[in-house]
Amino acid sequence: MTRLGYARVSTADQDTELQIRELEAAGCERIYRDHGVSGTKASRPELDKMLDRLSRGDEVVVWKLDRLGRHTRHLLELLDDFKARGIKFRSLRDGIATDPEGDLGGAMAQAMVTIISAFAQLERDQLSERTKAGMAVAASYGRKAGRREVSANHPNVKRAHDLKTQGLKPADIGKIIGASRATVYRYLGMEAD
């Protein structure tokens, strides 16, 4: 039996350190990490590697159930797959453990997984509804959602070009004008009007 951990964060600026520490403390021999990958995606590079590597008797450990997936259907499909393949599952923070070969993780564990994942899905759906409602209100006032249009005459664009001609690198320009490196590259790609 091999105990495998799975850690995931949704954005590049988040950190998996807390998850990793707890997975290591739980005795995980190998930890798969998806960094900057949404839990709504059914296919994730490191999750896919872990799923391919699993065999009967192995145990999958996650920090929280929502690290494995954000959609109820996908979570339940994964857990059904684990059960069919004889793979144990444990969520450290949710206190859920399943063992298809033993008493642990029978009907009650399956019910808890379903309830917790349903609430995670509800939370996500409500957030989406609130976002859409806010965008509708903004639109009624004539405002558009998303990044505001910036022209080549914008002061930050002009400043980025000036700093570039002085020999500064995009990362340094970004620090000076308070913009990400990607934004600086976009600004530098704009031609003056």
Active site residues: 10
Indicate the SS3 state at residue 7: strand
26 residue type, one letter: A
Q: Two tokens at 127? A: 């957030």
- The residue written with tokens 């509804």 in the block is 129
Give the whole-angstrom CA distance, residue 94 versus residue 37: 21
The pair of structure tokens assigned to 180 is: 């990400």
User: DSSP state, 98?
Assistant: E
d(CA 54, CA 82): 9
